[in-house]
Structures are given as C-alpha cells and as structure tokens.
Amino acid sequence: MIRFHDFQVDVQTYAQRGKQNDFPLLKRCSHCQTKRPLYRHGYYERNAVTSHQSYRI
C-alpha cells in the first residue's frame, strides 16, 4: 500500500532530518477501514533529484 504524505518541507530539509521527519501515524486501514494502528515495517532509503542536486533520502 502506498500512502502519500506532504511533509511541508523541501527535499534538502527532508534529507537532513532522515528518520527524524514527522511521519504520520496510520490509525486506520485505507482498504478495509479497520480502526487500529497499522504496523510500520521501517524506514528505507531512496533517491530524490532536483535541478541542483541529488539526495539519498
């Protein structure tokens, strides 16, 4: 399942914060609507590219 979240920061700030970003707590399954917190399987790195720089986020 992919959930989009607007962190309201630029890519550089997001990259600097890393695991300290304000990740949302998912309190309900968007598929079946069960009202219980979803288990988060962890943090994984990926790439972000802007016109000025590339980041490993």
pLDDT of 13-56, one tens digit each? 999 999 899 998 888 888 888 888 877 777 788 999 999 999 99
The two tokens of residue 37 are 């917190």
Contact 26, 37 (CB under 8 A): yes
d(CA 52, CA 39): 36
The two tokens of residue 54 are 């590339």
> How high is the pLDDT of residue 55?
95
Overall average pLDDT of the 4-13 stretch:
94
pTM of the shown model: 0.72
> How high is the pLDDT of residue 3?
80
> How high is the pLDDT of residue 40?
74
